[in-house]
Amino acid sequence: MLILVAALLMSPLAISMAAPKVKVTFWYSLSGKIAESIREMVEEFNRTHDTVEVEGIYQGAYDDSMNKLRTLILTNAPMKTRPHIVQIYDIGTKFMIDTKATVPVQKYIDRDKLDVNSFEPGILAYYTINDQLYSMPFNISTPLLYINKDMFRKAGLDPDKPPRTFDEFAECARKLTILDKSGKPVQYGASIAIYGWFFEQFCATSNILFANNGNGRDSVATASTFATPEGAAILDWWNSMVKEGIALNLGKGTANTQKAFISGQVAMTLDSTAVLNTILTGVDGKFEVGTGYLPRPANAKGGVVPGGGTLWLMGGHPAEEEAAAWEFIKWASEPKQQAWWHMNTGYFPVTKLAYNLPELQEHHKQYPQFATAVQQLRDTPRNRATQGALLGVFSQARQTIEDSIEQVLLGKAKSLDALKAAAVEIDAAIARYNESVGK
């Protein structure tokens, strides 16, 4: 009798009667090697979970994904065409909340009594709004100063004491710049990409709010607040180094500054913590790479804002599918997965428990540069400036700022004038957006 029962349990009929997996779709927006890591995570989850199957689908860059999602929501598209999980970058937070098409992950954190006290406080501070964690931090990064330690030594500078202030950075850049006989630089002290994220971060390190009403966290932001002498001082410092010839302006986007640093054309650059592995691989031992905090004005009491992206749980799906999607989000935030994710991509582990794992401790012994990023985040005071701004038009604002920075560095506008012009354009966009969402 027992043999018969066992045979029935192993039969194709019994197997076919097993409950099918709940299928959920996950839109992601990272490409290249990082996309490979996402696909590996999805495959690992599917291998280790019997009741849920995740389909990862690349949707293009963050803005592409947001635009596709916006179209689905505005056209009231059928739920089967909408993702269950979507990866959205930091500055899309306000827009996602305003869609009212998401389910705050706080719902399931409370249901499962998930202890988020182990999460990095600085990361939680950005994504917690009105005591609700709306999305699960996933690919988190901050800006970092990268230095060529060999060049520092040759210039008589201490590579273990990177510049911390604007003035120190400019002085180091001056000493690190090498001229040929004709007076033309053959090695530049620094290069900073024209990237709106860097300006936002400089505002945070300077303890300057980007938008009013507590960066949009005390109440809905109605205007920008960066067009001040303090904001202009950031661009004046930046521009003065370009004009002096000690900083190389390579335009918008960080790809060219990365290449210039890796090739030894510049001694210092700024970039995301997430590209540490890329830079180390590119340098390939040709020189020693060092890291430092993002420079700031002397005596400034600010810090860095967590960037990157999070996983959003989309509403409207059947309850079992919503719960299944949460299982993947929760799993992805666990220490083991976060340690693996960090080692393979360079993004921060969102939970401090990941640092207790032997494999991650060994990884940091091999790559001590990342310790700077961790300490910089933990040294950052938590206030409205370092929490970052909440704007529904942040993507547009960032592009507008980049245009203004470019005008200043090309000598076509004064810093304060450029920022005031940007503010007019951004404030008008904020007003239109707030009206469209009834705020």
Are 42 and 131 in the same domain? yes
pLDDT band at 272 (very low <50, low <70, confident <90, very high): very high
Are 239 and 332 in the same domain? no
Average pLDDT score, the chain: 94
Are 137 and 192 in the same domain? no
Question: Is residue 326 predicted with pLDDT exceeding 90?
Answer: yes
pLDDT band at 15 (very low <50, low <70, confident <90, very high): very low
Radius of gyration in angstroms for the set of CA atoms belonging to the chain, rounded to a whole number: 24
How high is the pLDDT of residue 10?
53
CATH of the domain at 102: 3.40.190.10
Are 184 and 287 in the same domain? yes
Residue 400 lies in a domain: yes
Task: Show which of 353, 369, 385 is a domain's final residue.
Answer: 369
> How confident is the model over 143-168, as a mean pLDDT?
98
Are 289 and 408 in the same domain? yes
Q: Interior CA angle at 283 toward 277 and 285, to 5°?
A: 105
Q: Interior CA angle at 380 toward 205 and 388, to 5°?
A: 60
How high is the pLDDT of residue 154?
98
How high is the pLDDT of residue 11?
54
Residue 11 lies in a domain: no
343's enclosing H/E stretch is helix 335-345
Are 120 and 172 in the same domain? no
Report DSSP letters for 306-320, one per residue: -EEEEEEEESSS-HH
Residue 107 lies in a domain: yes
Residue 86 phi/psi, 5-degree rounding, is -140, 135
Question: Is residue 13 predicted with pLDDT exceeding 90?
Answer: no
Contact 195, 252 (CB under 8 A): yes
Residue 150 lies in a domain: yes
Among 5-19, 25-39, 284-298, 388-402, whose mean pLDDT is lowest?
5-19
Residue 377 lies in a domain: no
Are 33 and 76 in the same domain? yes
> How confident is the model over 134-158, as a mean pLDDT?
97
Question: One-letter amino acid identity for 329?
Answer: I
Of residues 12 and 413, more confidence is placed in: 413
> How confident is the model over 251-271, as a mean pLDDT?
97
What does the pLDDT look like over 231-242, one tens digit per residue? 999 999 999 999
Contact 313, 105 (CB under 8 A): yes
Question: One-letter amino acid identity for 67?
Answer: N
Residue 270 lies in a domain: yes
Contact 30, 62 (CB under 8 A): no
pLDDT band at 99 (very low <50, low <70, confident <90, very high): very high
Question: Is residue 16 predicted with pLDDT exceeding 90?
Answer: no
Question: Is residue 9 predicted with pLDDT exceeding 90?
Answer: no
In whole angstroms, what separates CA 33 from the centre of its chain?
16
Question: Is residue 25 predicted with pLDDT exceeding 80?
Answer: yes
Share of the chain above pLDDT 70, in %: 96
What does the pLDDT look like over 375-427, one tens digit per residue? 999 999 999 999 999 999 999 999 999 999 999 999 999 999 999 999 999 99
Question: For the chain, what is the domain count?
Answer: 2
Q: Interior CA angle at 344 toward 343 and 345, to 5°?
A: 100
Report DSSP letters for 230-296, one per residue: HHHHHHHHHHHHHHHTSB----BSSHHHHHHHHTTSBSEEEEEGGGHHHHHHHHTTSS-EEEEPPPB
Residue 70 lies in a domain: yes
> How confident is the model over 347-365, as a mean pLDDT?
95
pTM confidence score: 0.92
Strand order of the β-sheet with 289-292 is 268-272, 143-148, 289-292
Q: Among 50, 133, 52, which Cα is nearest to 97's?
A: 133
Query: Computed from CA positions of residues 392, 88, 254, 230, in that sequence, does the dihedral angle turn out positive or negative?
Result: positive
Question: Is residue 309 predicted with pLDDT exceeding 70?
Answer: yes
Are 166 and 264 in the same domain? yes
Are 296 and 314 in the same domain? no
Are 133 and 271 in the same domain? no
Place of tokens 């428990």: 353
Question: Is residue 2 predicted with pLDDT exceeding 50?
Answer: no
Residue 437 lies in a domain: no
How high is the pLDDT of residue 18?
62
Tokens standing for 144?
């970092």
How high is the pLDDT of residue 5?
47
Domain that holds residue 208: 143-303+393-429
Are 135 and 152 in the same domain? no
Between CA 348 and CA 120 the distance in angstroms is 9
Are 353 and 424 in the same domain? no
